[in-house]
Amino acid sequence: MEKINLGISSCLLGETVRYDGGHKLDRFLTDTLGQYVQYVPICPEVECGLPVPRESMRLEGDPGSPRLVTSRTKQDMTDRMVRWAEKRVVEIEEEDLCGFIFKSDSPSSGMERVRVTNEKGMPVKKGIGMFARIFMEHFPLLPVEDEGRLHDPALRENFIERIFTLKRWREVMTKKESRGNVVDFHTKHKLLILSHSPKHYQTMGKLVAQAKDLPLKEFYWRYQKLLMESLKLNVTPKKNANVLQHMMGYFKEQLSADEKTELLEVIEAYQKGYVPFIVPITLIQHYVRKYDQPYLKQQVYLSPHPLELQLRNHV
């Protein structure tokens, strides 16, 4: 797979663009995830024409539509930032991004819970950074996260799974449009979708079955929307355990009673939080390989992202 194009707040790559001339280098993003992605760095404050160093800024007023104001001299930068951001998001369409990693807590780049100072001078953590808001409104289906949330192993796994899946989907979209290509993609991603949302799994199954009754463009659009919505829902040990038991059903004939008991015990230990997901999935992978199970061996669920990222190693 080619590298995945990912937007990122520039300061997270170590670029010295912050108001105080510093940066917020995140080593996981540069050294680990950076091996698989091509970053497109964006610093809204510098790109909209502000110098480094500069006066710090904050959001003020109504958390639903705050103003971007310098902290000490109270210069209102809202119109300048909005004008630049609305133009920039249109240019970004050319970058073929599969997601964006924002800098948390920033009045320009934070994607949630950014401090907004109300009329009484009290901060409430209910805002969205000005550029982040315009970006997310322009690209509503694109996976987004901030570096703070990515320290949570479950959120990290979810985000990375989504960007890898979107990249695979984009590869389908570069091929000649055909219902068959979507059906093939769907077949390989069925269990991955099931692990996120049994409801979407059913809805998408019906959509694929009705594909020939829909105009091709509408079919692609509806499929993509459901795909990204489903993957946004977090996987839980319970959902994963259901998928693992479903997979086990494919080996009814081959596994001995003892092997079935062992597999069920490992799945239960995972569901109770005693062992990480890598344990049951490795055992299932072993049986898929040993018995060359044709349906399961094509499932992306077995390996949705590189093993080196160690995303399935946490309890």
For ligand SF4, the binding residues (CB under 6 A) are 9-11, 17-18, 43-45, 103, 106, 108-109
The C-alpha atoms of residue 88 and residue 154 are separated, in whole angstroms, by: 31
The C-alpha atoms of residue 123 and residue 82 are separated, in whole angstroms, by: 22
Say how many C-beta atoms besides its own lie within 10 A of residue 54's C-beta: 16
When the beta carbons of 58 and 196 are compared against ligand SF4, the nearer one is 58
Q: How far is the CB of 155 from ligand SF4 (least distance, A)?
A: 19
Q: How far is the CB of 20 from ligand SF4 (least distance, A)?
A: 9
Q: How far is the CB of 108 from ligand SF4 (least distance, A)?
A: 4
Q: How far is the CB of 299 from ligand SF4 (least distance, A)?
A: 38
When the beta carbons of 113 and 170 are compared against ligand SF4, the nearer one is 113
The C-alpha atoms of residue 204 and residue 201 are separated, in whole angstroms, by: 5
Radius of gyration (C-alpha) of the chain in whole angstroms: 22
Q: How far is the CB of 15 from ligand SF4 (least distance, A)?
A: 8
Q: What is the largest CA-CA distance in the chain?
A: 75
When the beta carbons of 18 and 189 are compared against ligand SF4, the nearer one is 18
Give yes or no for a contact between 219 and 182, defined as CB atoms under 8 angstroms apart.
yes
* Angle formed at CA 23 by CA 59 and CA 12, multiple of 5 degrees: 85
- Helix residue ranges per DSSP H, 124-197: 130-138, 153-174, 179-196
Tokens found for residue 200: 């979407």
